[in-house]
Each structure stands twice: as C-alpha cells, then as structure tokens.
Amino acid sequence: MTLLEQIAASLHDGAIEVVDLTAPLSEATPVIRLPPDHGQAWPFEREPISRFDERGRHAYWNNLRMSEHTGTHFDAPAHWLSGRDLDDVARVPPRRLVAPAAVLDFSRETAADADFLLEREHVEAWQSEHGPLPDGGWLLYRTGWDARVRDAEAFLNGGHTPGVAPECARLLAEETGVIGIGVETVGTDAGRAADLEPPFPCHWYFQGANKYGLTQLQRLADLPPQGAVIVAGPLPIVDGSGSPARVLALVERHTTGADAI
Ligand code: MN
C-alpha cells in the first residue's frame, strides 16, 4: 500500500480517529470583550436568505455576520503589530495547516488559579517527561476551559482566564520549532494579558515570529501528549488577520482488527 492508502485504510477501520477540536458556532458563541475604548468583535449572527418559502422554495440558506476572530479561529501573523508585514491568513502556506501537536495539560493548575500563567519551568518539566516539542508543529495548551464554552460568563470569567507568561511566550516563539500555540480560551493570551509586559505576549511573540494562534479548542483531553496530527482550516480571507476555522486532530487508537467497524 502507498502511504496515503495506509492512512485511508486506517481512517476507514478506526485505527486513526478524527477528533473535532472545534467549538460549535452559533449566536451563543462567546466572543472576546475588550475595554470600551477598543473596537469590538462581532458575535455570530445570521439572517435567512430563504427557508423553503416565498424567498426560495427549494433552498434553505443564511447570510452570516461575524468577526475574523469569532469562535474557534486562527490568528495569522498579520493580526498583530509585531507581525503586520508578515503573512495574512490567505498567505499561510497550506503545508503548515497540517502539522503534529504536543498537548500540555495544565488543567489542574488552572482549576486552582484561573489566572495561571505557563512559565519556562513548566514547559521544561513537561518536556523532561514527554520529550521535545514538535519541530514544525503546534503547542496545544490544555486548561479545561472547554468545559465552560457553553456558558459565556463562566468562559470569559470576568477577565480571569489562564495564559502564558511573557518570557515563556518569547521562548516558545523564538527559540523552539513550534509553528503556533492553540488554546481552549477565547484568545491565545491570558485574560489579564493587557497588564503584562509586553501586553498580550503570545500575540506579540508568536505573530512577530510569523507563527500562529488557535483559540476556543475543545476535546484536547482526547489527545495524547505527543503524536496527534492537527488539520487547521482557516478560510483564505485575502488580507485577513485570521479566520474562523474547523480544527481536526488525527489520533492513533491502536485498535485491533476485531474492534474495527
Ligand atoms: Mn484572535
């Protein structure tokens, strides 16, 4: 069999499972809240074009309105001042949208402290147990925040949500081979990241290094610490700063032939 035939057969028999990391997208999807003097992201809205009625008897379809950063979404380098001359979302190379992932589980720490910040020592301790971060792959930061996504108040938590400390964000973006950071929270940075130095350090360092962000991921608990492959699908919005995205993970389940359907 060819490599792709092996993958197709494994997808068919369940030896490779496809895990959907994308939060459902609806009018209830929480969006980031910035101080009142800032611009604000539109929540998801839809207006019917027709629904098997006088506007179109054979068709159901809607017009949509949302921001580039509504729901599970992809941050492109051009999103931040530090990356303003780097790739917009349409120019992200497709081969970087399919990549391995390490899953760093700090849900115990974030349950005890909603303002928990990931530090260099946490990443080093994780690597001593699980091996190096994947070159050309994602760092996915599990915090347990996906359990809150259907309750906007709990999800946004009054601005108290976990993130990454500035020096750790700089280290990950500038001194490792990861192509981006994926999180379960509303943005890649902590809720209190406006008060860090630099402000919003994940945005500053990752976008400034031509790297990416993924937000509002779910089901990271169903991924192994190493070995999953991520397929991220932002829309190629020309000159876009990001895009809502479908994010899937391929996970080996090591099923026997007898277990497979
Ligand atoms: Mn964003």
Q: What is the DSSP string of 192-246?
A: TGGGSSSSSHHIIIIIHTT-EEE-SB--GGGS-SEEEEEEEEE---TT-SEEEEE
Report the separation in Å between the CA atom of 14 and the middle of ligand 1, taken as the mean of its atom positions.
33
In a domain, 48, yes or no: no
In a domain, 24, yes or no: yes
58 counts as catalytic: no
Q: What is the pLDDT of residues 44-54, one digit of tens each?
A: 999 999 999 99
In a domain, 47, yes or no: no
Mean pLDDT (the chain, rounded): 96
In a domain, 60, yes or no: no
b/e for 237-257, b at 16 or more Cβ within 10 A? eeebbbbbbebbbbbeeeeee
Report the separation in Å between the CA atom of 127 and the middle of ligand 1, taken as the mean of its atom positions.
27
- Rg of the chain over Cα atoms, rounded to whole angstroms, equals 19
How much is the pLDDT for 24?
96
In a domain, 215, yes or no: yes
How much is the pLDDT for 258?
52
Burial class, 187, CB count within 10 angstroms (exposed 0-12 / middle 13-18 / buried 19+): buried
Residue 240 is encoded by which pair of tokens? 């876009």
CA contacts within 13 A on the Cβ side of 58: 0
In a domain, 61, yes or no: no
What is the C-alpha to C-alpha distance for residues 100 and 130, in angstroms, rounded to an integer?
A: 14
- Domain of 154 in residue numbering reads as 3-41+68-259
pLDDT band at 260 (very low <50, low <70, confident <90, very high): very low
Report the separation in Å between the CA atom of 69 and the middle of ligand 1, taken as the mean of its atom positions.
5
In a domain, 131, yes or no: yes
Residue 225 is encoded by which pair of tokens? 């610490």
pLDDT band at 257 (very low <50, low <70, confident <90, very high): low
In a domain, 51, yes or no: no
pTM score, whole prediction? 0.95
CATH number, domain with residue 241 = 3.50.30.50
Which of 58, 79, 160, 203 is flagged as catalytic?
79
Report the separation in Å between the CA atom of 186 and the middle of ligand 1, taken as the mean of its atom positions.
8
Of all residues in the chain, what percent carry a pLDDT higher than 70? 97
Number of domains in the chain: 1
